Every structure is written in structure tokens, then in C-alpha cells.
Chain A
Amino acid sequence: MTAVRAPSETRTAAEQTRARYPDAEGYVERDGARLFWERYGEGDPTVFLLPTWSIVHSRFWKAQIPYLARHYRVVTFDGRGNGRSDRPGRWQAYTEREFAADALAVMDATATERAALVSLSCGALWSTLMAAEHPDRVAGLVYIAPAVALAPPHPERAVHSFLEPLGTDEGWARYNQHYWLRDYRGFLEFFFSRCLTEPHSTKQHEDCVGWALEMTPETLVATEQGLLLCELASFQRQCRRVHCPTLVIHGSEDAIRPHAQGAALAAATRGRLVTLAGSGHLPQARDPVKVNLLIREFIESIAGRAR
């Protein structure tokens, strides 16, 4: 069981310098867990950069924040389990419903009535839930490389159990809780090499591995067990309840979540699909200019502004 650590103990390495620092930051406590948020800029509307899987924390938006904050009010926070947020020990604390409730608590704490939500990968689960259940708080949804079960996974990922011990450590067999506890670093190197399939990704790879090392494999196992509970039928129901504008950005070469999942989500939410040719699972990091311009264009369109 992972103890909840004080925020001051959670930064393992001296943080790199940032292109932009927050104008306000703070903690909000919900159900015993403290969540660290940041706000940048003053514009309108608010763009809310949501957490993804807690294997990384809010610095994964570092190529978005300086640009978007020049135009909008930007809010982000560290998802429970990593960064300067607490790390509850029980897997029940890591369901998509908990992340959605955290996000709403951060909106309240930052006096954000309504925002455009931008999510990456499994952040799609909580952004969809927020739009379905709190339509008055959500002006629009940008999904980047959404991890949603609306289309089949890559076949090589469907072979191995996450929960059961396996007889091999090869390839996607590393996506297994026993392997994580045995060789966390080995898992991280493998996983992020599959996230970042583009050439010249060494810095992004190093960043991601470093952020993941700010949490423990025990906590990561809890997050994964919590997310395993997400049911396809209930997600499909939530998609039908999304009535705000949506934009899906998905790499054609995403080796974590097939492009077909993004396409299916665009269809399910009646939104626009933009395919990034050649991109992997983290286009916000590897194709930031394209992604930033797409986010901007989307925000301007929902704000009813011509560009």
C-alpha cells in the first residue's frame, strides 16, 4: 500500500526551467486527497488541460501552456497519483468518476464557471463524463489520441493479461502488474518507446520516464485497476449525452490506441476528426505547433470568433 506523501517529497529531480510560470497555483482537497492546480493567463474562454493517466503529470502539457496562455485563461492540475497531488493507495480512488470529480473541484477552486476541456489518451474518459453530466460547465471537448474502447485495441495488446502473472516479459507482456512491480523502469522504457514512435523523440522519452519515476509502480497498478472498471456500455451512453462541439486529434501511427478509436469517438460525439499523418500517441509533445493551432482554431470556432 502506498502512503500518501506530502507534496514536498514528490518532486524527485530539480525541475527544468519553464517557458512560462503559473500566475496562480494552489491545492484543492476532495475526499481526503489534495490536488495541485495551476492557472496561467487571463483571456477568455478558459481552456482546461485535464490530467491523463497518472503515469505522467501536468508537465505533459508543457508545449501547450505557453502558447495557449497567450490567448486564453489556462487551468491544469496534476491527476491524483502523480506530480504534486496526493497518491491514494486504493484502486477505488482511480476510477474515471474520481478524476471527473477532481476536475470539477479544480474548476470550483479556480472560479471557472465553464471551460473548453482538452484531454489526452484516457483523459477522454473523464472529459466525456463531465460533458455528459455537467453540460453547463463544458463549452467544448478536444480529444487528443483518445483511449476509448469504441474500436478494438491493437491486436498485440489484446493477448496478455494485466492482472495474471505471465511467463514472458517480451513486448506488450510488460503491460502487466507483476512486471511493473518487478522492473518498473523496464516497463517505462518500453511503454514510452511505443508512445513516441517518431524519430527525434529522445527528449520527450526522457521527460515521460522522469515524470513516471515521480510515482511508484504500486500507485500505477492502483490507477490501472481503477481504469479497468470503465465499462464500454456506460461510456457509449455518456457519448450520446455529449452535445457540445468536439474535436478529435489522432495520429495515424498511434501504437498505443488505434486511430480507429479516435475516429469512432468523433462519430459517437458527432465531432470533427483530424488525423495527424505519421504521428504517434503523444502528438501534443511531438507535433505541438500543429496541435496548438488546432486547439486554437477549435476554441475560436466555439467562441464564435472568426480568425
Chain B
Amino acid sequence: MTLTMTASGQTRARYPDEDGYVERDGVAVFWERYGEGEPTLLLLPAWSIVHSRQWKAQIPYLARHYRVVTFDGRGNGRSDRPSTAEAYDDAEYLADALAVLEATGTERAVLIGLSRGGRWAVELAAARPERVLGAVLIDPGIAHVAPPHPWWTHPFDEEFDTDEGWAKFNRHYWLRNYRGFLQFFAEEVFCEPHSTKQIEDLVGWGLETTAETLVLTQLGAQPASTGEMEGILRRVRCPVLVIHGDDDRLRPLAIGAAVAELTGGALVSIQGGGHCPQARHPVKVNLLIRQFVESLRGRAR
């Protein structure tokens, strides 16, 4: 007897128990629900350079213990790609998150946010505290609370005479060589050794949207000053856990530390971790999330 098994193709360790679309102002947003436990964890989108598969190393584990809801941020995945910059304001992502909570019948949830999803998590926790049990912020993409990396200084809109390094973080370069930007960006995100698969995944997800859409996501409104951002962080009342790689090339660890301090939360730094520890250090991150969620229940483990 012989049998051939295919090793290729992206199968999932776990498939959703339910999925659907919620439409708001003509923009359809695709969501998934896994598992049945308590409480519900809402795994927020990050920048629309990726979509909800960014959580693929969290979903199978967390869904064994909790009810897990996630959705593709507008601009990528199975969600729509609106064609105006205003459609990518922070406020739109927050409204999408609330619409997904409604659509899935979720009264309250623990928010898990990566990068700019971490910013949306604190914005949501500050604005709608009754819906948020707690927030886990992974390498939060929060500006104005600590100095950025010195290389994070090239104006996004200007034309440069160089494409070297972080000069690639530029709308003109994206429109000229989107693939080149994705490859560069992915290698900066995943600075840890043995990240070839995660780099390939990120580039692949990036190619599911377009340079034009990604430019729009970069132009949407977000907190614009230290005063505004700190005000939001100080309004957060729920428990907060910040997980931050100490080798994050995008958002320095000092940001995570400042966010933890301003929200009264805890900070766990991942030694040698880059910007997406949920992908490169999934066991550590999953156990930290679990421990945080259990602590919310006041349950000893």
C-alpha cells in the first residue's frame, strides 16, 4: 500500500468555526471566529501591509482556551480596499472593530494589538472602556511618546535621490518598486535568524494589496502630537500588558516602556526579539497572553 502526502500549500492548523462580513459605509470587513471559551479575545489588525493571518501562530493555541475573533483590516485580506485616505483614519479602524464586535455578538473583549493595532487597542480602550476587559499591546506603533529610531526620519512624501535602506519607506519608491519595499521591510521586521518563512509570508500578504492602497493607509489621520497621544494613554483604565522586542528596528523598546508607564501597565521585553515577536517567538507570546487573560479572571494558575 502506498500513499503520497503533499508537503506544499498553506494549510491551517485550525479553521474558523464561523466567518462573515460586516459592512460599514459601503466597506465590507471580513471577520472570523474560533472557539467558544470565555472571555473573547479580539485579535486586531495591524497595518494593512498584512492581514489577519499575521495571527496564525496565536489562533490555534488561544482558541483552545478562549473565544477568538479576528478580522482583516480594511485595505488587505478579504476586506475591501477603499480608495480615499480618510477611509484609513484611525477612527475607521476603531469603528470596524466595534462593528465586528456587534456582528459576532461580543459584549466585551480582551484586545490584542500588534504594531499600529496596539495604537488602535489603546484608542478603543480609552474611548469605549465598557467594551474592553484588557489590552495586550505587542510592539505598539505609537508615536510621540519616545524618540523614533534615528533611521526613521525620511519624509514619506518627498522624492529622494537614494533608495538605500529606510529611504525605501517612501511613497514614490513604493509606487516604483513595491516588491523591493516589501522585501526590505520584511527583513527589517524579522531581524532574527531563521526568519525566512516569516519574511516570505509577510511579502506574500503585502502582495495581496497594492502600493496605491498602502500609500492611502499611510495618509489616514492618527494622533498627531505628544499631548494628544499621552492623553489617550492616560485615559486607559483597563489592565494593560506591553510585549516588546528589544531589537525592534521599527519601534524602539523605549516606546513600549513609555506606553506601559502611561497606561499603568506591565512591560515584558523579548530578548533578541524584532518587531513581530508573535510570529518569531509565538510560544512565549502565547503564554504571556494566556497568563494575562487568566490574571483578568482573578484565577490562580
Contacts and interface: CB of A to CB of B under 8 A. Distances in A.
B4 to A, nearest CB: 4
Interface in B15-37: none
A277 B5 contact: yes
Interface in A171-216: 198-200, 202-203, 206
Nearest to B5: A276
Contact of B7 (A202, A266, A277): A277
A199 B196 contact: yes
Contacts of A266: 2
A219 interface: no
B5 A290 contact: yes
A272 B1 contact: yes
B175 to A, nearest CB: 29
Interface string A230-261: 00000000000000000000001000000000
B153 interface: no
Interface string B181-204: 000000000000110110010000
Contact of B196 (A202, A263, A273): A202
Contacts of B6: 277-278
Nearest to A204: B194
B8 interface: yes
Interface residues of B, number: 13
A206 to B, nearest CB: 7
Nearest to A248: B2
Interface in A129-155: none
**Which has the most chain B C-beta neighbours within 10 Å: A199, A200, A263?**
A200
Contacts of A287: 7
A273 B1 contact: yes
Contacts of B5: 274-277, 290
B3 interface: yes
B2 to A, nearest CB: 5
A125 B131 CA distance: 63
Contacts of B8: 277-278
Contacts of B193: 202-203, 206
A279 interface: yes
Contact of A272 (B2, B7, B194): B2
Interface in A273-299: 273-279, 287, 290
Contacts of A290: 5, 7
Nearest to B11: A289
A279 B196 contact: no
Contacts of A279: 7
Contacts of B7: 198, 276-279, 287, 290
Contact of A203 (B1, B3, B4, B194): B194
A151 to B, nearest CB: 15
Nearest to B195: A202
Contacts of B200: 199-200
A75 to B, nearest CB: 26
Nearest to A19: B283
12 contacts: A203-B193, A272-B1, A273-B1, A274-B3, A276-B4, A276-B5, A276-B7, A277-B7, A278-B7, A278-B8, A290-B5, A290-B7
Given A200-B200, A202-B193, 14 more contacts: A200-B196, A200-B197, A202-B196, A206-B194, A252-B4, A272-B1, A272-B2, A272-B3, A274-B4, A275-B2, A275-B4, A275-B5, A278-B6, A278-B8
Interface of B: 1-8, 193-194, 196-197, 200
Q: Which 6 A-B pairs have the closest CB atoms?
A: A278-B7, A203-B194, A200-B197, A275-B4, A273-B2, A200-B196
